[in-house]
Structures are given as C-alpha cells and as structure tokens.
Structure 1
C-alpha cells in the first residue's frame, strides 16, 4: 500500500469536505441576511444624494410610493452626457413590510423625446415598505460608474410602511387596529425565517462532522 498516496488523497478529501461545509455555511448565512434584512434608516424619512458629478442636473419623483402602482421617475442629463449619448441604468431595490429586500434590478428602458429628459417606471409590490435606487452611467468612452459607488443613494417610503417597530404613512389604514394585527403576523414570519436559517446552519455543521 502506498501510504504517501493515501495520505495525499486523505488531505484532498478533507479539503473538499471543508470547502463543502464553508459553502453551506455561506449559503445559509446569505439566506439569513436576505430574509432578515431589517428596514434600515428612520421610518418614513426619504433619502437622496447630491447630483454633483453624476451627469444628471435634475431628478423628479413622487415623495412616496403606492402599493400595486407604478412609480415614475424623471431625470435630466447635462449637456455633455446627453450629447455623448450616455446610457443611464436605473438600479432599483424594493423592500417589503416583512423586512425582506428583493435583489436589485436594472432598468434601462426610458421614455424620451430629446434624449436629455428621460422618464422611467417601475411596478411597486402590494406590500412595499420602500424603494432604494442608484444610477449606473455608461459613458461614451466605455467606462461605467455607479452613483453612489456602493449601496443606494435614494430611498422613498411607501404610503403604508412598517419599519420593524411601527406602522406609518399617509394611508389612514396604517394607523388602524388592522395594522396592529399585521405587526404580529410579520413578527411571526420573521421569527420563523430566523429559526429556519439557524436550524439550517446547525444541521450543515452537524452532518459535516
């Protein structure tokens, strides 16, 4: 028996086993982070970054999003970006009242008459808490740039939102007894997701030993 080869194969097997365990833990951690993404920031307070250096000179949108409706945004490019036919990608993320935030989506379909003012739309979920977004600019020289470079630069809350502790919004139904019962329901859902993710982590570690 060649003990050298046996030892080498054992080490390789251990390495693959370790990689498998780490991958399962990574996946489980990702699930936990996705499902337990808590509503960040103060509830009901919209956020926006400066347009300096973005290639945009103006941006207009409603100061709240409405469930099951389209949210419209209108942007205006500066002269250089417009003349160079800069491609603008609107990267959006919708977060719902359970605390879950969906993966970002890229939107590059715009309505325009002159190439300078662009109008875009996105459909809002029936249970949306808020929407985040940023812009990706594809410059004429082939370079790409995100604004902001990481995360999101804009946030608009819905007409009926839940920030993990309380309900709010211009919709009167958000201040009713019905909303109080929703808090209990969402809390149970979040708790269940947390237990599921932790159990997944535990079992992954147990069966890897």
Structure 2
C-alpha cells in the first residue's frame, strides 16, 4: 500500500513537467454539440484582443446565452483563475466574444458553457478546458518557442528548468525513502 502511495505522490508532483507538448494547440471536437463551427486565431498575441466566433447548427433555438470560460497561463508557470465572458449575438445564430491576453501569456485555455431557457448548462467539454492556443512567445517550463523572441529573459531561461528538474528529483528521492522505510517496518 505504501509503495502505491509513494508512486502516486511522484506521479502527482511530476505531472506538470510531462503534462503536454509546448506549442501544440489542442482543440475539442464539436461533434455531438449544437455548434456548427468555431472560428478563432491559431496564435495568441500578447496584449491583443483574441476573438472567437461560434455558429449554431440550424434549428437550435432554446439558447438563453453562451458563456466563454477563459484561462490565461503565463510564462512563469502560473495560470490565472478562469474568467467568464458572456458571448454576444445579434441573430441568435452567431455568437462572439473577445478577451485581451496578458503580455507574458504562454497559452489561452477555454471551454464553452451553453445555457438554455431553463437555465440548464451544457459544458463543452464536460470537464476541464477543451481548447489550448499557444502564444507567439511562450515558455513551457523547458524551452522557449513561438515566432516572437521579445519575452525571453536570461533569468527565466537559466533558472526555471533547473528548478523543475530539482523539484522532480526531490519528489523521486522522497518517494524512494518512503518506500524503503515502509519496507523495513512491515516485513
């Protein structure tokens, strides 16, 4: 049991190191939803407006409003709390919303909450964020990327990877000590 607990701790502590590939956008399929299309830029630009546009399938009528839940993550590894933006529409078919992206943004996450006339919420995707769009100058904890190099700083590029590596190594050593210690007690 203690070995399993130690392995789970290591997996949790090191999961952010291996979480995803830097610079690769992620998109959720709109199949099975009331949306026909979603349009947006494939790159997030610092301190510029990022806009999405959703078009409903024909025959979708009972929508009260649509919320766009965004989360900006920055190059230091911090993700800001999610922000809810109510989307606008003129014809109840095409819905749009915009957000100004932070200067040090690594990527923008989002999901869609569709609210019907009875206040029933349909979340797309059901859990987590379904979209991740990387900026033009990003740092994923290991390497810099994007077309713009203005966000790269020597301090971050030299110290952060070592910090993450030492944190991961410390977690593995602690897990090993826990396993070794528990083996001696229960044999």
Residue 74 of structure 2, aligned match among 82, 96, 99 = 96
CA shift in 2, pair 1:72/1:39, >3 Å:
farther
CA-CA distance at 1:60 after TM superposition:
0.6
Secondary structure of residue in 1 paired with 2:158:
helix
Residue 84 of structure 1, aligned match among 58, 62, 68 = 62
- The count of corresponding residues between Structure 1 and Structure 2 is 153
* Contact persistence 2:141–2:164 (CA under 8 A): no
CA-CA distance at 1:140 after TM superposition:
2.5
Q: Does 1:43 align with 2:22?
A: yes
Moved over 6 A (4+): 188-191
Q: Does 1:116 align with 2:93?
A: yes
Residue 36 of structure 2, aligned match among 49, 54, 57 = 57
Query: Normalising by the residue count of structure 1, what TM-score does the alignment of the two structures yield?
Result: 0.65
> As a proportion of its length, which structure holds more helix?
1
> As a proportion of its length, which structure holds more strand?
2
Higher Rg: 1
What are structure 2's unaligned runs of at least 5 residues? 1-12, 168-187
Aligned-CA RMSD value: 2.6
Q: Does 1:182 align with 2:156?
A: yes
CA-CA distance at 1:151 after TM superposition:
0.6
CA-CA distance at 1:109 after TM superposition:
3.8
CA-CA distance at 1:103 after TM superposition:
1.0
Aligned-partner Cα distance in 2 for 1:39–1:88:
33
What are structure 1's unaligned runs of at least 5 residues? 1-32, 195-209
Aligned-partner Cα distance in 2 for 1:179–1:92:
26
